[in-house]
Amino acid sequence: MSRSIPLDRYRNIGIMAHIDAGRTTTTERILYYTGRSGKVAGAPMGAGAVAAWADEDEERGITITSAATACFWNDHLINIIDTPGHADFSVDMERTLKLIDGAVAVFDAVVGIEPQSEAAWRRADERGMPRLCFINKMDRDGADFLRTVGMLSEGVGAKPLLLQLPIGSGAAFAGVVDLITGKALMWKDNGLGAAFHDVEIPADMKAQADQYRLDLIEAVVQTDAPMAEAYLAGTQPTVDELKALVRKGTRAAEFVPVLCGSAFRNKGIQPVLDAIVDYLPSPAEVGEVRGTSDIDRSETVRSPDDAAPFAALVFKIMSDPVAGSLTFARIYSGTLTVGGAMLNPLKGEREKAGRMIRMQATVREDVKQAFAGDIIAFAGLRHTATGDTLCDPAHPVVLERIEFPEPLIEVTVEPRTAADAEKMAAGLRRLAQEDPSFAVLVGKEPGRTVIRGVTELQLEILADRLKREFRVEAKIGALQVGYRETITRRAEVDHTHRKQVGGASQFARVKLVVEPSEADTGVRFESDLPAAALPKDFVQGVARGVEAVGGAGVVAGYPVTGVAVSLVDGARHDVDSNVLAFELAGAAAFREALGKAKPVLLEPVMSVDIVAPEDFAGGVIGDLTSRRGRIERVDQRGAAAGVTALVPLANLFGYGNILRSISQGRAHHTMRFDHYEPVPQAIADEVRARVA
């Protein structure tokens, strides 16, 4: 079987925006106009939105997880990843940017560029990702198209290329001027926006439209020397030539095409679909991806070629009420047939493609064969987790992994009954498999488990899912900061382990040197001892002992980071030495060395970015200072003030609600982990007392 849609007609895109900018509503309308959804919800979310995957998405009115769905437009297949706009779920935004080839950035025409959309924009900049802009909510009072365009260039350094102008704004918004064709597009108020027609540009906009069309032509001809020469000689580019030049500049990230409309009022969506097809790249144009050979660890590449060895990257695992567990993956190379064998090289396990599904809104389409460029959900995989590679067993490769942030906060979870304990363990294992930024640890007290995550809302959602999906009744503790421990000076320990166990003796001697290392690198162990001094398995035993202690340090039992450990000497006994003895010796020596190296407690410090009306900037700054915050920058963000500060995470629990109170609901913020730093002694004493 050969593919029915050529690869150059694929578009793998993400739709990114700040919360409430209309990203999910825009996706809803795209699915409706492409025939993948039979309805247009009357509200952006919470009213049966087809792009809302989980119950929590609909209940909370935000997109929490990245729902993948496929649709068709003008003989092209468009795979859409609807990404979370809420700052607490930026992990999904990061993973989406890794697997898509282009993006549509949705902005609110009233408030312009907001923190989460700015953060996503800058991450896309780092990847050189081609993008389109859709300035949404032109029907709202206060909508200002040109002000938002100005914020694109001034706020994030973009080079906006206007393809449209709005006809009216607020309640008077009626359509758009298409600067490519020189026509106006008008939508009827009935028919849910499915019907629109070309008309002449309104007379009072003709001069403005002519000037902006001239600006458009002069901007795009600069991307092609022959076209620039022809233009200077007096030849006007045709519509098709203009589209080709816009496509060329967009793919090269030389500028960003800008469109406008109102998703909620069903105006302006079809031109966005046209722009996705006309200007964003196909997988064939993006080209090869890099990976590592699983045989000799050398760098290798995989091309988007159906004849190449199969390779795919898993980006999401989700529970489905019909199909069970669904493992979403993007296929970067090769072809896979139902029933085919796949290798997970990271786990050393084989999987079978027993069922492959293409998600089309709420419709699940079984596919018999999948090709390079496809985004497919596998049902029933047993050994694969988010971020893993699946590949041809005869040509093993590990694709570049998705980087997930380290968990920063934690809570204790305790089952209410013995029956709940088993269900809770199974549920937590499943949730950890779905989300690598979520970790599960055995608590210090019997029956208690510690769960760690990146944000408050993430842990709240996971606790809700435990109850909803796995029917677990559990007591959830208070949120705690995920502290770390490190050392501040060099120390050396020579430790000998002697013990009588039953009738046998144990003997192991190790000499360790510990030194401060780069922050956030965990514990790095190395040994240069020759095999004649200590056999390799004994050295590995020492490493395991060091690793065990590194998971719970000597200050307050938190993980150790930023420590380099060197095994510089050791001794063994021909009869009494074994791997366990060296593991115990390594653990004891490392524990003693940590105590001698002046250990300290570290706390995570977040970079907090806030956009607030200028009238509230003083109150925001004062509140941040009261939270041990250090103001890094205050600047102008359009008509608002921007404040960037470094604040300890311990002082940011519940900050979203506090900020809304300070600003009367008019400020927004994002935060990301910045670094660890030693906590003040008084706080360290409080933490130790609480843990004890």
Fold of 409-478: Alpha-Beta Plaits (3.30.70)
- Residue 338's CB is within 10 A of a number of other CB atoms, namely 14
CA distance 680 to 689: 14
Tokens of 644: 């960037």
Q: What pLDDT sits at residue 479?
A: 86
Q: How crowded is residue 499: how many other Cβ atoms within 10 Å of its Cβ?
A: 14
Q: Count CB atoms within 10 A of the CB of residue 143.
A: 23
| 233 Cβ neighbours under 8 A, 6+ residues apart | none
Class of domain 7-285: alpha beta
Work out the number of other CB atoms within 10 angstroms of the CB of residue 76: 19
Helix or strand (DSSP H, E) at 435: none
Domain 409-478 and domain 603-691, same fold? Reply is yes
Distance CA 411, CA 428 (A): 13
Q: Does domain 603-691 have CATH number 3.40.50.300?
A: no
- Cα→Cα distances 47→44, 59, 60, 230, 603, Å: 7, 9, 11, 53, 41
CATH code, 289-399:
2.40.30.10
Q: Which of 587, 585, 590, 593 is nearest to 498 (CA)?
A: 585
Q: Using CA atoms in the order 655, 642, 87, 46, what is the torsion angle rounded to 10 degrees? A: 90
Cα Rg, the chain, nearest whole Å: 28
What are the Cα distances from residue 60, in Å, to 45, 52, 54, 57, 646?
Answer: 9, 11, 10, 6, 29
Q: Where are the domains of the chain?
A: 7-285, 289-399, 409-478, 485-597, 603-691
Beta bridge partners of 102: 13
| Whole-angstrom distance, CA of residue 318 vs CA of residue 57 | 13
Residue range 81-130, pLDDT digits in tens: 866 645 555 566 777 888 899 999 999 999 888 767 777 788 888 889 99
| Nearest Cα residue to 489 out of 403, 395, 600, 408 | 600
Interior/surface letters 269-292, b for 16+ CB within 10 angstroms, e for the rest: bbbbbbbbbbbbbbbbbbeebebb
Q: What is the pLDDT of residue 23?
A: 81
- Helix, coil or strand: residue 687: helix
Q: How far is CA 28 from CA 23, 191, 193, 269, 607, in A?
A: 9, 16, 13, 10, 33
User: Strands 76-82 and 67-73: what pairing?
Assistant: antiparallel
What does 579-645 look like in DSSP terms, one character per residue? HHHHHHHHHHHHHHHHHHT-EEEEEEEEEEEEEEEHHHHHHHHHHHHHTT-EEEEEEEETTEEEEEE
Q: What is the 3-state secondary structure (H, E, C) of 145-170?
A: HHHHHHHHHHHHCCCEEECEEEECCH
Q: How far apart are the first and last CA of the chain?
A: 65
Closest alpha carbon to 371 in 413, 457, 310, 425: 310
Closest CA to 134 of 16, 285, 265, 5: 16
Q: Which residues of the chain have pLDDT under 50?
A: 41-48, 52-66, 85
- CA–CA separation, 564 vs 566, rounded Å? 7
What pLDDT score was predicted for residue 430? 82
- 204-212, long-range: CB < 8 A, 24+ apart: 205/165, 205/167, 205/177, 208/165, 209/165, 209/177, 209/179, 209/182, 212/162, 212/165, 212/179
Alpha carbon of 9 to those of 91, 232, 283, 356: distances in Å? Answer: 29, 34, 9, 21
Q: How many CA atoms lie within 13 A of 594 on its CB side?
A: 29
Please tell me the total number of residues recorded for the chain in this structure: 692
Rounded Cα distance, 562 and 583, in Å: 21
C-alpha–C-alpha distance, residues 212 and 360, integer Å: 38
Q: What would the pLDDT profile of 236-278 be if each residue is shown by its tens digit?
A: 999 999 999 999 999 999 999 999 999 999 999 999 999 999 9
The predicted model scores a pTM of 0.76
Give me 67's structure tokens.
């729902």
The pair phi, psi for residue 688, each rounded to 5°, is: -60, -40
Q: Across the beta sheet with 563-571, what order do the strands follow?
A: 491-501, 504-516, 563-571, 523-527
CATH of 485-597, one of 3.30.230.10, 2.40.128.20, 1.25.40.10, 3.40.50.410: 3.30.230.10
